[in-house]
Amino acid sequence: MQLFKGLDEDGDGFINFYEMEEYLQLFFKTAFMLTQSSLKEGLSPFVLGHETAIACFMEADKNRDGKMSFQEFRTWYKSKQSKPGTILLFFEHA
């Protein structure tokens, strides 16, 4: 899956928390710039990216080792595909 490879910046075969967080922070920063949306006071793309990465890892990192294997990512991703409006919105254009 190309998406997994894109998120695995260091090419070690896993997505670590910081790779996921960095991607999501960049996603939110870009999305808010492009849409010229405003955020609630105290909320930033960095906070949203961090909190979203935490949510992803809480759900996908089944063995709690702090990194997502391809299998963990694929299982998590496929579980979200059948549910409209889920977190996959952030990954569809990666």
| Domains located in the chain, CATH noted | 2-90 (1.10.238.10)
Q: What angle do CA 16, 22, 23 make, to 5 degrees?
A: 95
pLDDT of residue 87: 54
pLDDT of residue 86: 53
> Cα separation of 83 and 80, whole Å?
5
The answer to pTM > 0.85 is no
Q: Which residues of the chain are under the pLDDT cut of 50?
A: 93-94
> Cα separation of 56 and 15, whole Å?
11
